[in-house]
C-alpha cells in the first residue's frame, strides 16, 4: 500500500449531529465518493481554528484522509491510501 498526498479542496456533504460532524460524501474531479465508514477522527487545535480530520473509507474501497477547516468551513482531501 502507498499513500498519495493530495491536499485538494473538495465539495463535501456532511451530517452535523450531537455536537459533531461526519462526512457523508465528497466530490473529487467530478466523481462522487460515498463514505461508507469513518475509521478514525481527530482534531488539531494548534492553529487559529480547529482542523477536523477523518479517515474515511469510500464505496470503492479507497481510504481517504479528509480535513474540515473550521475557520473557513472548507473541506480538503489530504491523502488517499492506494493498493500497490
Q: What is the pLDDT of residues 34-69, one digit of tens each?
A: 999 999 999 999 999 999 999 999 998 999 999 999
Domain limits at 16?
2-82
pTM for this prediction: 0.92
Tell me the C-alpha distance between 71 and 68, whole Å.
9
39 vs 33: CA distance, rounded Å: 16
| Domains in the chain, number | 1
Distance CA 64, CA 56 (A): 5
Amino acid at each position: 500500500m502507498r499513500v498519495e498526498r493530495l491536499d485538494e479542496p473538495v465539495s463535501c456533504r456532511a451530517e452535523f449531529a450531537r455536537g459533531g460532524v461526519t462526512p457523508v460524501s465528497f466530490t473529487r474531479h467530478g466523481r462522487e465518493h460515498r463514505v461508507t465508514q469513518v475509521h478514525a477522527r481527530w482534531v488539531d487545535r494548534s492553529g487559529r481554528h480547529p482542523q477536523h480530520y477523518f479517515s474515511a473509507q469510500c464505496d470503492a474501497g479507497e481510504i481517504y484522509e479528509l480535513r474540515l477547516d473550521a475557520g473557513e468551513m472548507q473541506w480538503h482531501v489530504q491523502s488517499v491510501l492506494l493498493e500497490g
